[in-house]
């Protein structure tokens, strides 16, 4: 089935809108957690800040992209459930219906990967399916009564395994080392083993989880094509810069977990989570958007140097937040750097919309000029 027509674009837009609501509500919750003077929410949305950002937003984007790649309409049920689950969290908080919808989304996503596996088996697809299993594990534990802080290793595994699998998929043709895929499987196994151990034996297992993250970072540092494409120009260089910066933050999160162990609150918790979910995950979204958005929505997002503005703002503000706000306990810096984190995401959204709209208008004008020229030529003949 043709991937571009299997899931109609008009069906994808409501799902993307739900992901956008989850993102905006998550950012609003972030401001509340930072202690910024903003209007109080009717519901304590700050209590579901993490699940909204990771599952309601990132999860919906990933599930939507996979559903489009599958080309089967039933696949849209995965992002629809996660998007709706995010909306339920916004309205009702951490209640059973929202959690159940998010878990259902992960089950359908596993079904998507099973269907894709039947088409073509690969280690990259196995890694992405492992990410979907981690999503399922996180929501299952959440339904069982585990607090969000204790399911973070599984949320992290969902993001890291999925993105690492996508990087392997893209780098496959450039891999020259015969053992590269074997080392990748070993790193993925270490990550899942660490997440499992962190749930069963938190005091010891969290150290192992950090080691698993570092194993994935080590593989990416050695084998990812970003090490070479960073010397290119335009979009390839922009993507490589964002990837390499994200890997640094992922390494920091791994070091904090591997060295210091379990943490569920305080400045180290803030530093660890935002190094991974902001520095790594959001950076991946920024740099992959020009490639993924056209495939998912059939709308252009051309590269422009303007895209470096939110990317630089994200990493500089996060450096200030963690390096000064968390490490040195400078609360004003932590707060306003956190506000700058939020601003970087909003700036990226604004840049993406502006570039997409501008390019679409330019294409329409060009098409109109071609038609007018054709008509004029025909009249002369």
For residue 186, the Cα-to-chain-centroid distance in whole angstroms is: 23
**d(Cα 282, Cα 250) in Å, to the nearest integer?**
11
Cβ-based burial of 279 (10 A; exposed 0-12, middle 13-18, buried ≥19) = buried
For residue 264, the Cα-to-chain-centroid distance in whole angstroms is: 22
- 247, 265 contact by CB (below 8 A): no
Each of the 381 residues of the chain gets a pLDDT tens digit; together they read 344 447 788 889 999 999 999 999 999 999 999 999 888 877 889 999 999 999 999 999 999 999 999 999 999 999 999 999 999 999 999 999 999 999 999 999 999 999 999 999 999 999 999 999 999 999 999 999 999 999 999 999 999 999 999 988 876 655 667 788 899 999 999 999 999 999 999 999 999 999 999 999 999 998 888 888 999 999 999 999 999 999 999 999 999 999 998 888 999 999 999 999 999 999 999 999 998 888 888 888 899 999 999 999 999 999 999 999 999 999 999 999 999 999 999 999 999 999 988 876 665 555 555 455 545 554 555
Domain borders along the chain are 1-120
Q: What pLDDT does residue 4 have?
A: 41
Alpha carbons within 13 A on the beta-carbon side of 44: 3
Q: Which of 179, 172, 164 is nearest to 213 (CA)?
A: 164
- Whole-model pTM: value is 0.92
Q: What pLDDT does residue 338 have?
A: 97
- Helix H segments across the chain? 3-6, 9-33, 49-51, 60-70, 77-92, 96-119, 123-143, 152-171, 180-200, 202-223, 226-229, 234-260, 266-274, 281-297, 308-320, 331-380
Angle at Cα 339 formed by Cα 335 and Cα 342, nearest 5°? 140
Q: What pLDDT does residue 295 have?
A: 82
Q: What pLDDT does residue 3 have?
A: 42
- 18, 86 contact by CB (below 8 A): yes
Who contacts 235 (Cβ-Cβ below 8 Å, separation ≥6)? 290, 303
Instruction: Please report where in the chains the tokens 């335009």 appear, as a residue.
Output: 234
Output the CA–CA distances (angstroms, integers) from residue 141 to 100, 128, 134, 330, 347, in the order listed: 11, 20, 11, 35, 34
Q: Which of 184, 206, 203 is nearest to 130 (CA)?
A: 184
**d(Cα 238, Cα 303) in Å, to the nearest integer?**
9
Q: Which of 299, 290, 355 is nearest to 9 (CA)?
A: 299
- 213, 160 contact by CB (below 8 A): yes
Q: What pLDDT does residue 1 have?
A: 37
């Amino acid at each position: 089935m043709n991937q571009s027509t299997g899931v109609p674009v008009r069906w994808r837009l409501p799902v993307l809108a739900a992901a956008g609501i989850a993102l905006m509500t998550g950012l609003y919750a972030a401001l509340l957690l930072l202690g910024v003077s903003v209007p109080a929410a009717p519901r304590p949305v700050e209590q579901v800040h993490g699940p909204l950002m990771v599952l309601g937003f990132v999860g919906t984007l990933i599930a939507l992209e996979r559903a489009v790649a599958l080309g089967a309409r039933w696949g849209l049920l995965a992002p629809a459930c996660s998007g709706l689950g995010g909306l339920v969290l916004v309205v009702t908080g951490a209640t059973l219906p929202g959690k159940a919808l998010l878990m259902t989304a992960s089950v359908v996503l596993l079904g998507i990967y099973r269907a894709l596996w039947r088409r073509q088996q690969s280690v990259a697809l196995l890694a992405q399916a492992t990410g979907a299993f981690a999503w399922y594990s996180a929501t299952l534990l959440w339904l069982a009564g585990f607090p969000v802080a204790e399911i973070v290793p599984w949320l992290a595994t969902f993001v890291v395994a999925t993105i690492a699998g996508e990087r392997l998929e893209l780098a496959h043709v450039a891999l020259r080392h015969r053992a590269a895929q074997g080392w990748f499987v070993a790193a993925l196994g270490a990550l899942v083993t660490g997440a499992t151990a962190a749930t069963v034996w938190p005091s010891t297992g969290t150290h192992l989880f950090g080691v698993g993250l570092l194993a994935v970072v080590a593989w990416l540092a050695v084998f990812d094509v970003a090490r070479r494409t960073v010397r290119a120009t335009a979009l390839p260089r922009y993507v490589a810069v964002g990837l390499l910066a994200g890997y640094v933050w992922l390494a920091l999160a791994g070091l904090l977990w591997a060295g210091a162990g379990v943490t569920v609150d305080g400045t180290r918790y803030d530093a660890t989570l935002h190094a991974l979910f902001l520095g790594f995950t959001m950076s991946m979204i920024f740099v992959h958007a020009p490639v993924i958005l056209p495939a998912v929505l059939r709308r252009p997002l051309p590269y422009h140097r303007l895209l470096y503005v939110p990317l630089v703002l994200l990493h500089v503000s996060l450096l200030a937040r963690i390096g000064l706000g968390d490490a040195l306990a400078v609360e004003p810096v932590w707060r306003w750097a956190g506000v700058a984190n939020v601003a970087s995401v909003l700036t990226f959204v604004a840049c993406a919309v502006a570039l997409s709209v501008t390019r679409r208008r330019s294409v329409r004008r060009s098409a109109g000029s071609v038609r007018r020229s054709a008509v004029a030529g025909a009249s002369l003949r």
